[in-house]
């Protein structure tokens, strides 16, 4: 099969990769870039475990075809922290006990991050809408919303 | 996923050249929220996949004196927050804000919702109430068709690939725009959806309405659409006729709701969901009427 050469910004760095076109963004990130924070849950865009930030918006990477991100910007959890320091959102998730089994956490963090980048002072309802596409099988939603709320800059 | 050739054209003209050069089964992908699942599970097995996200000329919301025009590649997120849509086509903004989840609305496009041809496409139900017209382009030029005709069973089936649910679009055609008349001064629209939960819920039923009042607050022009109670969303003209020329009193609204319920029975009477839907449709439609009345009294 004819491979497709794509270039995009991944966690702040310009990358170029040749990929068979019949690959999901989810698989490209996990297999080609070893960014295993991106989880596969349902594979149908329903659970949000595979959420990444694509051009400043949260999207499910299982419903994006890998070559579609040519010339785009993609952020995964690996791109959240800087210089070995965790992002404030990540710190608050730890402090508030918002992580149970951890499987939904990367998606939750990125949905929250995309919201805060657009709207630095969201209401509790706006937070809930931002993570409405992220399922937590431990059902620890309250602490997740608390953690996002706690990370809002004063 | 089957092996396929991939193109990411920058313009519609480029797409038509690809159509001409490639003889195998072609599939267009925009948001991918439906078609990706079908390709991945091998329900759809294209030889060629063409990306529409790279085409800027189908991504816009424009208004002129008479119409609001929406490029087929416009996302639900954009439509649910756009000032023009919120002011002049509230039903569409409300419908788009209820699609899937935040992630799905960031990807999914109005054009995809239309051509996928789902019985319960949220934006489609709102667009039927807004009397929308589609602009479909091919190398031969553009043609226009009303959304209602697009889904009518009489349409000759010429579809393949990701258009497999939709009878109205041809192999060498692309849906490029959907447009509708701007709301008149006394015209208001609203949409409500019933799902099993708030987010990520496939619609159990949807009701869209657009109602224009005269100076005496009598209904001058009404369009009511139902979704998820038939193969595609459709208008219910006999219910519209009941309120035509009348003030929206409780009694008139109840008469209209009963007629809507009768239409649901006539359309899906044999389905197991009918006893539930024939009742719940009244509650959903009552909420839509309340939203219209609230907007009209401001």
Chain B environment of A130 (Cβ under 8 Å): 102
**What's the pLDDT tens digit per position in B220-250?**
999 999 988 888 889 999 999 999 999 999 9
- pLDDT at A127 (0 to 100): 97
Q: Which of A68, A11, A1, A15 is nearest to A38 (CA)?
A: A11
Chain A neighbours among B 246-285 (CB < 8 Å)? none
Element (H, E) at A144: helix A141-150
Quick: pLDDT tens for A84-120: 899 999 999 999 999 999 999 999 999 999 999 999 9
Q: How far is B2 from chain A (nearest CA, A)?
A: 7
CA angle B5, B8, B12 (to 5 degrees): 115
Question: What mean pLDDT value characterizes chain B?
Answer: 90
Q: Which of B18-27, B44-53, B268-277, B288-297 has the lowest mean pLDDT?
A: B268-277
Cα–Cα dist A18/A93, whole Å: 36
B103 touches chain A (CB under 8 A): yes
For B97, the closest chain A residue by CA position comes to A129
What H or E segment, with its residue span, contains residue B211?
A: strand B205-213
**Per-residue pLDDT for B155 more than 80?**
no
Average pLDDT over residues A45-61: 97
Which residues have C-beta within 8 Å of that of residue A151, sequence separation ≥ 6?
Answer: A88, A89, A91, A92, A112, A116
**Is B41 exposed, middle or buried, given 0-12, 13-18 or 19+ CB atoms closer than 10 A?**
exposed
Considering only CB atoms, A58 lies closest to which of B6, B40, B106, namely: B106
Local confidence band at A12 (pLDDT 50, 70, 90 cut-offs): very high
Q: Do A65 and B3 touch (CB under 8 A)?
A: no
Using alpha carbons only, what angle is made at residue B148 by residues B170 and B264, rounded to the nearest 5 degrees?
130
Domains of chain A: 4-79 (3.10.20.30), 88-150 (1.10.150.120)
pLDDT in tens, B115-125: 887 766 789 99
Q: Which helix (H) or strand (E) holds A93?
A: helix A88-95
Identify which of B115, B295, B146, B99 has the alpha carbon closest to the alpha carbon of residue B211.
B295
Yes or no: say if B166 and B150 are a contact pair by the CB < 8 Å rule: yes
Among residues of chain B, what percentage have pLDDT more than 90?
72
Q: What is the mean pLDDT of residues A76-87?
A: 94
pLDDT for B8 equals 97
Give A-chain residues touching B29 at CB under 8 angstroms.
Answer: 65, 68
State the Cα–Cα distance between residues B113 and B125, nearest whole angstrom.
10
The rounded distance, in Å, linking the Cα atoms of B215 and B221 is 13
pLDDT tens digit string along B165-204? Answer: 555 788 889 999 999 999 999 999 999 999 877 766 777 8
Ramachandran region of residue B20, left (φ > 0), alpha (ψ -120 to 50) or beta? alpha
DSSP state of A103: S
Q: Which two tokens stand for residue B150?
A: 């697009």
Give the ipTM of the model, two decimals please: 0.96
Beta strand residue intervals within A13-75, DSSP E = 13-19, 51-54, 57-60, 73-75
């Amino acid at each position: 099969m004819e491979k497709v050469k794509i270039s995009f910004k991944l966690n702040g760095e310009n990358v170029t990769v040749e990929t068979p076109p019949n690959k999901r963004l989810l698989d490209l990130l996990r297999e080609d870039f070893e960014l295993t924070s991106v989880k596969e849950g349902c594979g149908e865009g329903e659970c949000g475990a595979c959420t990444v930030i694509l051009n400043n918006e949260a999207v499910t990477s299982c419903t994006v075809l890998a070559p579609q991100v040519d010339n785009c910007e993609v952020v995964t959890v690996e791109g959240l922290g800087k210089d070995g320091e965790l992002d404030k959102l990540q710190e608050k998730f730890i402090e508030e006990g918002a992580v149970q089994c951890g499987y939904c956490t990367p998606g939750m963090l990125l949905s929250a991050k995309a919201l805060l980048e657009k709207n630095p002072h969201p209401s509790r309802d706006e937070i809930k809408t931002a993570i409405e596409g992220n399922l937590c099988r431990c059902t620890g939603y309250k602490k997740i919303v608390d953690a996002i709320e706690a990370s809002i800059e004063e | 996923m089957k092996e396929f050739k991939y193109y990411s054209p920058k313009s519609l003209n480029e797409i038509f050249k690809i159509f001409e050069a490639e003889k195998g089964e072609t599939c267009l992908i925009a948001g991918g929220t439906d078609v990706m699942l079908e390709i991945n599970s091998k329900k759809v097995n294209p030889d060629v996949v063409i990306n529409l996200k790279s085409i800027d000329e189908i991504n816009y919301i424009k208004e002129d004196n008479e119409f609001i025009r929406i490029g087929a590649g416009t996302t639900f997120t954009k439509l649910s927050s756009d000032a023009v849509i919120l002011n002049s086509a509230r039903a569409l903004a409300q419908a788009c804000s209820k699609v899937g989840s935040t992630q799905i609305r960031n990807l999914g496009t109005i054009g995809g919702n239309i051509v996928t041809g789902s019985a319960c496409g949220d934006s489609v139900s709102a667009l039927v109430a807004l009397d929308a017209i589609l602009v479909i382009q091919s190398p031969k030029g553009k043609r226009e068709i009303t959304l209602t005709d697009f889904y009518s069973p009489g349409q000759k089936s010429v579809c393949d690939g990701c258009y497999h649910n939709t009878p109205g679009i041809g192999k060498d055609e692309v849906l490029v725009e959907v447009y509708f008349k701007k709301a008149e001064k006394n015209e208001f629209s609203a949409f409500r959806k019933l799902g099993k939960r708030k987010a990520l819920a496939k619609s159990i039923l949807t009701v869209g309405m657009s109602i224009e009042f005269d100076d005496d607050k009598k209904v001058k022009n009404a369009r009511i659409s139902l979704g998820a109670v038939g193969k595609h969303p459709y208008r219910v003209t006999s219910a519209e006729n009941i309120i035509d020329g009348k003030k929206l009193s409780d009694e008139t609204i109840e008469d209209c709701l009963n007629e809507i319920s009768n239409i649901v029975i006539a359309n899906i009477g044999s389905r197991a969901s009918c006893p539930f839907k024939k009742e719940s449709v009244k509650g959903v439609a009552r909420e839509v009427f309340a939203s219209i009345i609230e907007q009209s009294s401001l």
